[in-house]
Amino acid sequence: MNWFRFPGPSVSAIWAIEGGRAPMSDERRPRTVLFVCTGNLCRSPMAAALFRRRLQQDPLRSNWRVLSAGLWAANGEPASPNAVVALAERGVDLSRHIARRVTRELIAEADLVLAMTPHHVEALRLAFPEAADRIHLLAEMAGETHGIADPYGLSLSAYRATASELDRLLAAGYDRIVALAEGR
C-alpha cells in the first residue's frame, strides 16, 4: 500500500490510496483475547462471555474480540447445559456457544491467551512456542497461581461456583488483562 503525507494548517493527515482512510494506530486497534480450557464446553466459554460483558461496559474497549477454544474440544458441541444456566442466572447468554479446538490460526490472532490451568499453559506453550509470551494463566491476572477446577459433569452448584470464581478473577485482573492485551 502507498502512503502520502499531506501537511495541513495545524496537523498532518496520512491517507491511503487504497481504502481512502488513515490506518488505525496500534493503540486504538481492537484486541483479541482467547480463553482456553480442555473441552471448550464450560470454563473457557464462561470466562469469555463474562469478560465480553465487562468489555461492553468499557467504552474504550467495547469493540474487542473475545474468543474461546479447547485443547481437546470436539468442534460443534454446544456449551454444557449447566454452564448455560449458571451464566443465564448472571444475565449472560451462553446458549449459542459452539465448541472449537485451539488452532494455530486462533493463537496467531490472539493478543493474549488466558488458560484455565497450569497444565493448559504448559501444553499451549509447547504446541505454540512462537506465542509463549502471550500465553498466561487466568488466575495470574489477579495475582493468584491456582487453576480453575473443571465443573464438567458436576452439579449446577459446581457451575455456579465456577462462574463466581471466573467473575471474581476477571474483575480483579481486568486492568492486567487489558494492559497485556494492549502490549503495555
CATH of the domain at 169: 3.40.50.2300
* Beta-sheet pairing, 112-115 with 135-137: parallel
Residue 3 in any domain: the answer is no
Confidence label for 153 from pLDDT (cuts 50, 70 and 90): very high
Q: Contact at 8 Å (CB) between 99 and 77?
A: yes
Nearest alpha carbon to residue 113 among 178, 173, 165, 181: 181
Residue at grid coordinates 451464566? 87
Grid coordinates of 123? 501444553
Which neighbouring-strand residues pair with 112? Answer: 33
Q: Is residue 88 part of a domain?
A: yes
Q: Of the listed 54, 61, 65, 150, which one is catalytic?
A: 150
Nearest alpha-carbon partner for 49 in 16, 17, 94: 94
pLDDT band at 24 (very low <50, low <70, confident <90, very high): very low
Whether residue 6 is contained in a domain is answered as: no
Q: Is residue 11 situated within a structural domain? A: no
Q: Does 133 score more than 70 pLDDT?
A: yes
Distance in angstroms (rounded) separating the CA atoms of residues 53 and 150 = 22
pLDDT at residue 9, as a whole number: 37
The amino acid sitting at 10 is S
| Residue pair 151/162 in contact by the 8 Å Cβ criterion | yes
166, 68 in Cβ contact below 8 A?
Answer: no
Q: How confident is the model at residue 25 (pLDDT cuts 50, 70, 90)?
A: very low
Residue 21 lies in a domain: no
Question: Confidence class of residue 115 from pLDDT cuts 50, 70 and 90?
Answer: very high
Q: Which residue in the list 31, 42, 43, 125 is annotated as catalytic?
A: 43
Is 1 among the domain residues?
no
How many domains are there within the chain? 1
Task: Show the domain range for 134.
Answer: 32-181
How much of the chain, in percent, has pLDDT values that exceed 70? Answer: 85
Contacts of 119 (CB under 8 A, 6+ apart): 147
Find the catalytic residue in 31, 37, 42, 52: 37
Among 111, 108, 97, 123, which Cα is nearest to 37's? 123
**Catalytic residue status for 37:** yes
